[in-house]
Amino acid sequence: MAKMGIVHYDSVEYWNEYYKKEKIQEESTFCTYIKKQINNSSIILDVGCGSGRDTFAFASDGYEAVGIDRSEEAIKFNNEKKYHGIHAKLKIDFQVVDLNDSFSLNRILEELCQKSLREKKNMVVYLRFLLHSINETTEKVLLKSISKHLPKGSYLAAEFRTIEDQGLDKLYDDHYRRFIVAEDLVRDLEDQHQFATIAFTKGTGLSKYKGEDPFLARILMQKK
């Protein structure tokens, strides 16, 4: 059920070059949506944060936010940005983490989840446009790690391309994409990873960008 693009997730060089040029500043519509669902007494782990658009948006509204990405160029840009102007006082951090490095992934999840328990804050793992950009093996490692560390009551929020998006026009046709059967993913999260569904929707009109209107799914799950 996957359609491979030209560029694979493992091409770090590609994403380093991409983030040198693509630095979108405004928050995504999914970020706006999640802010309405979860109060700002929360710690956000933005996995695959890229240019940090949503990481900064969460932090600007009082959330404590940590962005991780495998692109050193993206993390370098974000860490430089966080020390300037209005960003200097935000509770925000960025780290280079490769999702294929299970040790680093588990380390940061454990660290932040323990912090959320100590400080009695919600823990939110935020995955926007991440799941369809990684292969199934990496997804399994990621979901297993999230399930292992997230305390009861924590949240998983994800927005991703679905199988219905496969035949639609793409603005960038050189990205790796895996088109996901949303219902299967939700069922797996419920049955295998002990999550309960709070919200699940899919369709177009959710995240239009430069003439592209992808078919997406949005899910908000809570750890049982």
Q: Digits of tens for pLDDT over the chain (224 positions)? A: 333 333 444 555 654 555 555 555 789 999 999 999 999 999 999 999 999 999 999 999 999 999 999 999 999 999 998 988 778 889 999 999 999 999 999 999 999 999 999 999 999 999 999 999 999 999 999 999 999 999 999 999 999 999 999 999 887 766 788 999 999 999 999 999 999 999 999 999 999 988 899 999 999 999 99
Whole-angstrom Cα distance, residue 104 to residue 102?
A: 6
What is the per-residue pLDDT for 89?
87
C-beta separation of 145 from 68 below 8 A: no
CATH number at residue 184: 3.40.50.150
Whether 4 is covered by a domain: the verdict is: no
Pull the structure tokens for residue 154: 């924590």
Residue positions counted in the chain: 224
Residue 150 lies in domain:
12-223
Whether 7 is covered by a domain: the verdict is: no
Number of domains forming the structure of the chain: 1
Whether 178 is covered by a domain: the verdict is: yes
Cβ-based neighbours of 140, under 8 Å, separated by 6 or more: none
DSSP symbols for 149-201? HPPTT-EEEEEEEBGGGTTS--S-TTS----B-HHHHHHHHHHHS-EEEEEEE
